[in-house]
Amino acid sequence: MLLGEWNETLMAWFFSRRPHERVYLRVDDAELERINDERALGLYDPAQDLIRAVQDEAQGAPSLRWLRRQGYEWRSRADPDEVPPWLGLIAVSVLVVARESERGSLAFYRPLSDMLGLRSVLSQDDYEESFYRSEERRVGKECRSRW
């Protein structure tokens, strides 16, 4: 599946579309298998397929700037029904945490960077700026959109 298809699938699975609803984004190998089965996606390895979809977008880039650009474009359209472009990356991020936790590790940025095939290890700033405008992050405001 392409990243856009994963974003749509994750949106339909985790979000009910009720305004201001809190969402628990549980993404581990078992949950991705459940999504695959219940949505009849027909994927051999749904976790690897999701990772590959995000990797294909990242294309080995040294950072997540590609996502920042897509986020700017998404915000400029201001369509509340359009799925945010970073949903797949958030899911992969949660998957990394789940897998590292199972191993008894607290590592995050290196395993995420390795999983995405990035040429360098992400920093916390690189990661956060992928989701927020830099000025929002600096002043500690939440995204103004519903996401």
d(CA 129, CA 64): 8
Instruction: Show the tokens assigned to 44.
Output: 């051999």
pTM, 2 dp: 0.81
Q: How far apart are the first and last CA of the chain?
A: 23
d(CA 63, CA 129): 10
Place of tokens 């992969």: 92
| pLDDT 10s digits, 32-52 | 999 999 999 999 999 999 999
Whether residue 57 contacts residue 66, with contact meaning beta carbons closer than 8 Å, is answered with: yes
Radius of gyration over every alpha carbon of the chain, rounded to an integer in angstroms: 15
| pLDDT 10s digits, 77-100 | 767 677 887 889 889 999 999 999
- Residues composing the chain: 147
